[in-house]
Amino acid sequence: MENKLLDVTNLTVEFGGLTALSGLDFQLREGELLGLIGPNGSGKTTCFNAITGIYKPSKGSVVLLTKDITGLNSQKIYKSGITRTFQRLRLAVGLSVFDNLVIGDTVDLNTSVLFNLLKRKALRKQVDYQLNKVKNILKIFNPDLVNAIYEPISKLTMIDRRRVEVCRALISRPRVLLLDEPSAGMTSEETREFMDDLLEIKKKTPSLGIILIEHEMSVIQRVTDRCVVLNYGKKIAEGTYKAISCSRDVRVAYLGED
């Protein structure tokens, strides 16, 4: 059996009287692509926000390998190896593709003021090193993007921006990658292309665990190993796509049958 990577136990997020996420339990294994699905407002993004420290969970725990990361701030969670993308793109518009990708790799940058102002040659080496890294990761998703690294983000198409956002999350070699509806705003053809690249990444980095929020069931069926289904902040099913699509609860809540 594969190693357990992320262990979420009884994760609960409350906003005042509203319980957005209630007692969620699930595990993510190394090399696994886990689908997180559920109707709008079922708590998928809240779950990501709670894992990445944007929201403080009211109860429960999140353990990465052996490290308890519950309630840590976002920076510490990033440093322990969890990165994410956002449902509504959160790239730094106004900066270049290169800058946006390097923001994903801040753990690898020397940010001392004196280093940056005085050791310009060493800085140049770091920039060139990052340049190489950025080019290599962009090549996986779209070789054309390599020629656009000095261009502003605003010149890219939607799918390329999504790709840049995923590259930004991958460049620091995280253990867990959280993808919040990356196919939003893409055509089905673009989504297919994107998911192919994602499967490629999964094959190349067997220790990486990915959680994917996705609405399109055919995509979930094609790429995920297992799924967790949420409704009203509670887990209503877990298992392979085949298993959950047979579950009556899931059909009622999500697929609109009764």
Partner 1 sequence: MMHSNLKISTILTAVLTMGAMAVFFISFLLAETEISLLITVALGIGFFIFAKNQSYFENMIIFSNQRPVFFHGLIIIIISLILSICKHEHFALFMIASVTLYATACFGLTLQLGYAGLTNFAGAAFLGIGGYTVAILANNNVPIILSVLFGGITASLIGSLLILPILRTRGHYAALVTIAFSLLFKTFLELNEFLGGPQGIKIPPMNLFGWSFSEPVLGGSFYISYVILSLIVMGVVLGITRLVEKSWLGLHFDSVRIDEVASSCFGINIAFWKITAFTIGNFFIGISGGIYANMLGHIAPTNFTFGDSLILISIVILGGIGNPIGVLPAAFLILVLPEKLQFIQEYRLLLFSILVILVLIYRPDGLLNRPLRKFYKEWGPPFIGK
Minimum Å distance from CB 52 to partner 1?
6
Residue 13, classed as helix, strand or coil, is strand
**Residue ranges of E strands in 77-199:** 82-84, 176-180
Among 15-23, 47-55, 138-146, 196-204, the segment contacting partner 1 (CB under 8 A): 47-55
Residue 213, classed as helix, strand or coil, is strand
**Residue ranges of E strands in 142-251:** 176-180, 209-213, 226-231, 234-239
Whether 40 contacts 255, CB under 8 Å: no
Minimum Å distance from CB 53 to partner 1?
8
Measure CA 136 to chain center: 19
Minimum Å distance from CB 113 to partner 1?
7
Residue 211, classed as helix, strand or coil, is strand
Does 18 bind partner 1 (CB under 8 A)? Our answer is: no
> Where is 26: in which H helix or E strand?
strand 18-29
Does 117 bind partner 1 (CB under 8 A)? Our answer is: yes
Site string for partner 1, 128-167 (x = CB under 8 A): ----------------------xxx-x-------------
Nearest residue to 177 (alpha-carbon basis) of 189, 167, 191, 188: 167
Minimum Å distance from CB 155 to partner 1?
9
The identity of residue 248, as a single letter, is: R
Site string for partner 1, 168-197 (x = CB under 8 A): x---x-------------------------
Residue 230, classed as helix, strand or coil, is strand
Distance CA 194, CA 173 (A): 19
C-alpha triplet 120, 171, 52: angle, nearest 5°: 115
Instruction: State which of residues 50, 91, 134, 164 lies at the interface with partner 1 (CB under 8 A).
Output: 91
Minimum Å distance from CB 153 to partner 1?
8
Distance CA 70, CA 80 (A): 12
Among 100-108, 204-212, 232-240, 243-251, the segment contacting partner 1 (CB under 8 A): 100-108
Site string for partner 1, 48-87 (x = CB under 8 A): ----xxx------------------xxx--xx---xx-x-
Does 47 bind partner 1 (CB under 8 A)? Our answer is: no
Minimum Å distance from CB 80 to partner 1?
10
Among 26-34, 123-131, 187-195, 238-246, the segment contacting partner 1 (CB under 8 A): 123-131
Hey, what are 37's tokens? 């699905």
Residues that bind partner 1 (CB under 8 A): 52-54, 73-75, 78-79, 83-84, 86, 90-96, 99, 102-104, 106-107, 109-111, 113, 116-117, 120, 123-124, 126-127, 150-152, 154, 168, 172
